[in-house]
Amino acid sequence: AQRVTQPEKLLSVFKGAPVELKCNYSYSGSPELFWYVQYSRQRLQLLLRHISRESIKGFTADLNKGETSFHLKKPFAQEEDSAMYYCALLPGGGADGLTFGKGTHLIIQP
Amino acid sequence: EAGVAQSPRYKIIEKRQSVAFWCNPISGHATLYWYQQILGQGPKLLIQFQNNGVVDDSQLPKDRFSAERLKGVDSTLKIQPAKLEDSAVYLCASSFGGNTIYFGEGSWLTVV
């Protein structure tokens, strides 16, 4: 069975500092990896997915199959980035639902 | 485009009572999911439908939880009887091709 691990429950950084939210996964096949974000009092929403190789709101994430990691990075944090971030894995073929990590609460201090 | 709709948003019940949650997915989305999110944890998949058929319900506690999607559109999730540990947010989600999954705002359940 697949598993997603987010080692940090809470990450606090100052505005303008770089941010890295860690995500490691275990899965025997070729998964798709996602980052979802949940701002205060809002629904869970997709931030980015590895196959798109895009930057959203300044965030990027690279899939490292050797290290089975999909860390989320942003060079300069902004206060509006404060939120819960969840890393999620979709098994190859997409037949099953997402498996989520426990989430990291990112707090950007002014 | 309208998002995934869920109701009720909040529900407080006593243990051993029953509760039902309703979900209306995004129009045209064949796949519908119910997730349970306990405070401090990530969402956990309870059941996945493809149209009106069940694809995966391996993590659904079938002694007390049931879900249906009779006409392949709306879905209901029922808990009977509820236990204290069922207190959680119940998230409905839907997708068209299975890759990008869209979530509703969730139904918050407190069992006292």
Nearest partner of A73 among A48, A40, A101, A39, judged by Cα: A48
Which B residues 47-66 touch A at CB under 8 Å? 48, 55-56
Residue stretches of chain B with pLDDT short of 50: none
Assign A105 a pLDDT band (cuts: 50, 70, 90): very high
Residue A68 to chain B, least CA–CA distance (Å): 19
Which long-range CB contacts under 8 A does A78-82 form with residues at least 24 apart?
A78/A15, A78/A108, A79/A15, A79/A108, A79/A110, A80/A108, A81/A19, A81/A57, A81/A106, A81/A108, A82/A39, A82/A40, A82/A106, A82/A107, A82/A108
**Per-residue pLDDT, B26:** 95
Residues 6 or more apart whose CB falls under 8 angstroms from that of B87 comprise B38, B39, B109, B110, B111
B98 to A86: CB separation less than 8 angstroms, yes or no: no
**Per-residue pLDDT, B98:** 60
Task: Say if CB B82 and CB B17 are below 8 A apart.
Answer: yes
**Per-residue pLDDT, A2:** 87
**Per-residue pLDDT, B97:** 72
Q: Judge whether residue A83 has pLDDT over 70.
A: yes
Question: Would you give the DSSP letter of residue A35?
Answer: E
Read off the pLDDT of each residue in A80-109 and give the average, rounded to a whole number: 90
